[in-house]
């Protein structure tokens, strides 16, 4: 079992090691612009390594778990708007996104609402998408969005 865990950790780290070993490629850390994030949290909203941009999860404006469809939709829009702003800081758009990961409470209740908002921002050709229902998120969050973007071009250009 120990060997499997070590192997999985090494596999997860391999892309970062390969990129950072390239001549002149060093991570660029984007500092948090949110004054409400305490220093003790210690994370970066985004890190660029070479042509790849890795964004931390975004939960948007706080909303009650039992909120109605209108409030949930507004929360989902705020999530995508914040992700769009982080992408823009790196000179990217949703067209550069190659991987989307979503984590949501009340998966069945929120799927159609979230998907409708996602489809406003994510257009064909589509990135990969992992969509997971979870039992807990930070207080005030009902969804979290994580994306990875390729800054070397758009998905359409990669086709």
Question: What mean pLDDT is predicted for residues 23-34?
Answer: 56
Structure tokens at 42: 């210690």
> Where is mean pLDDT largest: 22-26, 41-45, 109-113?
109-113
> What is the Cα–Cα distance from 51 to 69, expressed in whole angstroms?
37
Encode pLDDT of 63-106 as tens digits: 999 999 999 999 999 999 999 999 999 999 999 999 999 999 99
The reported pLDDT for the residue numbered 108 is 94
Q: Does the structure show a pLDDT above 70 at 19?
A: no
CA atoms within 13 A on the CB side of 78: 16
Across all residues in the chain, what is the average pLDDT? Answer: 83
The reported pLDDT for the residue numbered 7 is 38
Q: Does the structure show a pLDDT above 60 at 29?
A: no
Distances (CA, A) of 114 to 46, 55, 62, 74, 105: 23, 19, 15, 10, 11
- Tell me the CATH architecture of domain 28-158: 2-Layer Sandwich (3.30)
Check residues 34 and 50 and name the one with the higher pLDDT.
Answer: 50
Q: Does the structure show a pLDDT above 50 at 145?
A: yes
Counting residues of the chain whose pLDDT is more than 70, the rounded percentage is 74
Q: Does the structure show a pLDDT above 80 at 51?
A: yes
pLDDT band, very low/low/confident/very high, at 43 (cuts 50, 70, 90): confident
């Amino acid at each position: 079992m120990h060997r499997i865990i070590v192997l999985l950790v090494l596999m997860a780290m391999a892309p970062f090691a390969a990129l950072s070993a390239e001549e002149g490629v060093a991570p660029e850390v984007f500092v948090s612009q949110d004054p409400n994030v305490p220093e003790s949290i210690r994370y970066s909203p985004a890190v660029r390594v070479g042509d790849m941009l890795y964004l931390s999860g975004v939960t948007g404006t706080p909303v009650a778990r039992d909120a109605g469809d209108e409030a949930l939709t507004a929360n989902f829009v705020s999530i995508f708007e914040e992700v769009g702003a982080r992408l823009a800081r790196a000179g990217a758009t949703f067209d550069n996104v190659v991987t989307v990961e979503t984590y949501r409470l009340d998966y069945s209740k929120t799927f159609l609402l979230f998907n409708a908002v996602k489809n406003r921002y994510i257009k064909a050709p589509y990135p990969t998408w992992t969509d997971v229902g979870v039992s807990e998120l930070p207080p005030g969050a009902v969804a979290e969005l994580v994306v990875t973007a390729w800054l070397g071009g758009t998905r359409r250009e990669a086709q």
